[in-house]
Amino acid sequence: MNIIVIGTSTGGLGTLKCLLAGLPADFPAAVLVVMHIGAYDSILPELLKESSSLPVRYAQDREAIVPGVIMVAPPDRHLQVEHGTLKLTYGPKENYSRPAIDPLFRSAAMMFRQNAIGVLLTGNLDDGTVGLQAIKAYGRTAIVQASAGSQGAMYAAQCASTRRCRLLPAG
């Protein structure tokens, strides 16, 4: 099974909705999403359903990973994959975030290896960069959104350092 892991900060909602809108109803891979929503109540799955032809819901602890379904990290929980299931944890914040992007990306790289693709949209600090390195180390593709400012320049430079990375235009 293939898995697509997507990470973004709260400023990336529009880009995330646009990206998910492009996935067909028969998309053959599982899609896992982390957005920096913190501990606050969120209607993120409902917002993403508006633009997606795939089912969207919050991930549940120990739930099976299902192709063709978009599963979102719930507030204040890290989303990871473990032995073909989802794992929700209340671990320490990473890059000042919980949920954070890196725990998902790292665990997807370890569990799915060459069947994991990482997509990093707008980010907070450098959350997602270590996880993308892990995905690239297993020989898969990392996709990074270019953005203005020093953070975007850092992502772009990191992406340019490998042939297994694609840079998306900002916006």
Give yes or no: 127 in active site: yes
Exposure string of 22-42, with b = 16+ CB inside 10 Å and e = fewer, is: ebeeebebbbbbbbbbeeeeb
Taking phi first (over 0 means left), then psi (-120 to 50 degrees means alpha), and beta for anything else, what does residue 149 get?
Answer: left
Give 119: exposed, middle or buried? Use CB within 10 Å, 0-12, 13-18, 19+: buried
Q: Indicate if 51 belongs to the active site.
A: no
Of the candidates 9, 52, 97, 107, the residue annotated as catalytic is 9
Q: Which residues contact 163 (CB under 8 A, 6 or more apart)?
A: none
Measured in whole angstroms, how far is the alpha carbon of residue 10 from the centre of its chain? Answer: 13
Q: Which of 26, 36, 42, 76 is catalytic?
A: 36
Catalytic pick among 42, 52, 97, 127 = 127
Name the DSSP class of 28. Answer: -
Q: Which amino acid is at 78?
A: H
The span from the CA of 38 to the CA of 20, in Å, is 22
Helices (H) and strands (E) in the chain, counts: 5, 9
Q: Which residues are catalytic?
A: 9, 36, 127
